[in-house]
């Protein structure tokens, strides 16, 4: 993902770089122990996970299945725009999104 930033306009890169130096929202929420805020945060994470699920489904239908129809290709041979294994990358990104949830056991 960091490599992809190089292709963004400078203003967008600067914005993302500024976000990286700010405290993480999850750390702030953990220290606040505000259950309503934590639930709201987790709801947003769930929505992002749902987006990732749909992205995987669309990729499967419109890229992988179509390509498999045209030639004999194994799903392991699909490479994303960044040169990564497409399926593994999408699943990893989805899992990392899900891992962002704040669990009650994570509380201080």
Q: What is the pLDDT of residues 79-107, one digit of tens each?
A: 776 677 888 889 999 999 999 999 875 55
- Looking at the domain assignment, is residue 60 inside a domain? yes
Q: With respect to residue 97, please indicate whether it lies within any of the assigned structural domains.
A: yes
Distance CA 6, CA 92 (A): 22
In a domain, 50, yes or no: yes
Structural domain contains residue 3: no
SS3 state of residue 7: coil
pLDDT of residue 5: 84
How many structural domains comprise the chain? 1
Q: Per the domain annotation, does 1 fall within a domain?
A: no
Question: Is 2 a member of any domain?
Answer: no
Quote the pLDDT of residue 67. 78
In which domain, by residue range, is 50 found? 8-103
pLDDT in tens, 18-58: 888 878 888 899 888 899 999 999 999 999 999 999 999 99
């Amino acid at each position: 993902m960091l490599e992809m930033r190089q292709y963004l306009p400078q203003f967008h890169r600067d914005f993302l770089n500024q976000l990286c130096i700010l405290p993480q929202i999850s750390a702030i929420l953990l220290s606040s122990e505000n259950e309503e805020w934590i639930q709201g945060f987790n709801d947003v994470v769930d929505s992002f996970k749902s987006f990732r699920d749909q992205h995987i489904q669309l990729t499967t239908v419109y890229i992988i299945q179509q390509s498999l129809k045209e030639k004999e290709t194994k799903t392991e041979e699909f490479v994303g725009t960044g040169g990564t294994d497409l399926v593994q990358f999408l699943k990893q990104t989805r899992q990392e999104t899900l891992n962002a949830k704040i669990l009650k056991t994570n509380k201080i």
